Amino acid sequence: MGCSSSLFSLRSLVRFTHTDPAGYVFFPRYFEMLQAVVEEWFTEALDLKYADLIIGLRLGTPTASIQCVFMKPSRLGDALEIAVILEHVGNSSFRLRFRGGVDGDLRLEAVSTLVLINLDDGRPRPIPSDLRAPMERYRELSVRWASLEN
């Protein structure tokens, strides 16, 4: 789902491949889910296909840091919805907050800093203005959302 007036979120079914033998999401799988959310966020919320960023523009967004708090476990069959809040846009990096829940019940919250790099030399690159503009619009939306939450 896109985000013209609301935060972008991606709803995904917790599948067998995400879980441990007890049927709970194995924690490293959450990081794979967060990457999927980032890719869809670029495509849907920023109007830049993530594949075009990687293949066409030769730009990547590796994770420089991530912190995650798991409030409650998610189980096989849960419909996990993860929302994206853009907290900061720097010169070549940006910080995202993810809030994941099932039917409004918060399961995890993560904060991640991603860096825009040139894939040919692996070095940070300033966020281009045609990407910065939609990021700033989304950040403003995130700020408005955060003010409603408090």
Which of helix, strand or coil describes residue 106?
A: strand
Helices within 16-128 (DSSP H only): 27-44, 50-51
Taking only Cα atoms into account, the Rg of the chain, rounded to an integer number of angstroms, comes to: 16
Could you tell me the pTM of the whole model?
0.92
What is the per-residue pLDDT for 5? 62
Which of helix, strand or coil describes residue 138?
A: helix
What is the per-residue pLDDT for 32? 96
Residues 48, 115: Cα–Cα separation, whole Å? 16
**Cβ-contact 142, 148 below 8 angstroms:** no
What is the per-residue pLDDT for 1? 36
* Strands in 20-142 per DSSP E: 59-60, 63-70, 79-89, 93-102, 105-115, 117-118
Q: Would you give per-residue pLDDT tens digits along the chain (150 residues)?
A: 334 468 999 999 999 999 999 999 999 999 999 999 999 999 999 999 999 999 999 999 999 999 999 999 999 999 999 999 999 999 999 999 999 999 999 999 999 999 999 999 999 999 999 999 999 999 999 998 877 776
What is the per-residue pLDDT for 3? 40
Residue among 125, 113, 109, 105 at smallest CA distance from 53: 125
What is the per-residue pLDDT for 150? 61
Residue 55 CB contacts under 8 Å (≥ 6 apart), including other chains = none
What is the per-residue pLDDT for 48? 97
Amino acid sitting at position 19? T
Q: In whole angstroms, how far apart are CA 38 and each of 44, 50, 72, 117?
A: 10, 9, 22, 15
CATH homologous superfamily of 9-149 equals Hotdog Thioesterase (3.10.129.10)
What is the per-residue pLDDT for 146? 78
Q: Per-domain residue ranges for the chain?
A: 9-149
What is the per-residue pLDDT for 147? 75
